Structure 1
C-alpha cells in the first residue's frame, strides 16, 4: 500500500547527464524606499552629564537626561534624573523628574519624586508628587493639571456685579 521513496537514497549512479554548477545570481537592486528604516527605532538610553562636568547655560532635550555634575541654568527634558552628587541652580521642567541631589530653583513636572537624599530649595509645581522620608524641601508645593505650561497659574475669580446704578 505504501512504498518507500527512493529519491534521496544513495545508490548506483545513473547515466543521467551531469549538471553544470550554476553561476551566482546577481543581487536584486535595492528599492528606492527602505521599509525597514521607517520601523520604530529602539529608544536610546539617557544622556549622562558626569560628576566632573559643570555647565553654565540652559540644557534642552526631548529625551532622557541624568545629571551628576553642576548645571547653572534651566533644564528641559522628558525624563530628568538629578544624581546624588548633582547641583542644579535654575528651573527644571520635565514630564518625569527624580531628584536625588540638590536643586535650587523651581521644579515643574507631571510626576515629581524627591528621594531621601534630595535637597530642594524652590517651588514645586506638579500633577503628582512623591516625597520620601528624609528629603529636605524648602518652598511651596502646588498641584496643576498641566504643570508644564509656561503660563502663570490660572486663578478663578467669581464675577462681581455692581449695585446701585
Structure 2
C-alpha cells in the first residue's frame, strides 16, 4: 500500500543528474547547531509511581512525576501525575498539577486540575484552577515569577498592638 521507494511508482524513470564536484559547498558548519536556535522538544523524563526521590531535581527539560519527591524541582515543564506527591519548592515555566504538592509553586503558567491537592503559596503569571481542585495557601501574580530564583515572602498579617490584647 505505502512505499518508501520510487521503484513501485508508475511513470517515466529519470536519473537525477549528479552535481559537479566544484559546485558543492565546502561549508561544514551544518554539523554545529546555531547558538540561538530554539530548544528542540523532547519527550519528558518520567519518574514512575514506584519511585521515591529524596533530593533536589534540576533540568532544562520536561519532567512528569508519578512517584514521590522529597526536595525541590526546577524544570522547563512539570506535570504532576494523580499518584504523585511532591514536598518542596517547584519552579517551572509551565506546571500542570494533577496530584499533591506541599510547598511553594512558582511558574509562568500554572494549572490545577480537578484532582489537584496543593498546600502552599502559588506565585504565577497566569493560573487556571479547575472545579474540584483543593488549594490551601495564597496566590500572587507576578510578571516574572521565575526571576533570579528568589521570590519575596508574602507579607504577614499586621501585628496587633500589645494594648489590643489587654481589652
CA-atom RMSD, angstroms? 2.3
Aligned counterparts of 1:151 and 1:123: Cα–Cα separation in 2: 11
Q: TM-score, normalised by structure 2?
A: 0.69
Moved over 6 A (4+): none
SS at match of 1:137: strand
Aligned counterparts of 1:147 and 1:139: Cα–Cα separation in 2: 17
TM superposition shift of 1:148: 1.0
TM superposition shift of 1:43: 2.3
Q: Are 2:67 and 1:65 equivalent residues in the alignment?
A: no
TM superposition shift of 1:33: 3.3
Match of 1:35 in 2: 30
Equivalent residues in 2 for 1:1-165, closer than 5 Å:
33=28, 35-38=30-33, 42-149=40-147, 150-152=150-152
TM superposition shift of 1:37: 4.6
Q: Please list the CA deviations of residues 9-44 of structure 1 after superposition, one character each: whole Å capped at 9, or x if unmatched.
A: xxxxxxxxxxxxxxxxxxxxxx79351453767421
Aligned counterparts of 2:47 and 2:151: Cα–Cα separation in 1: 29
SS at match of 2:83: coil
Q: TM-score, normalised by structure 1?
A: 0.70
Work out which of the two has the higher radius of gyration on C-alpha atoms and give 1 or 2. Answer: 1
Distance 1:99 1:37, change over 3 A: same
Q: Which has the higher helix share?
A: 2
Q: Please list the CA deviations of residues 35-76 of structure 1 after superposition, one character each: whole Å capped at 9, or x if unmatched.
A: 145376742111101111000000000011100000000000
Where structure 1 has 5 or more consecutive residues not aligned to the other structure, the ranges are 1-30, 156-165
Equivalences, count: 127
TM superposition shift of 1:153: 6.2
Where structure 2 has 5 or more consecutive residues not aligned to the other structure, the ranges are 1-25, 156-167
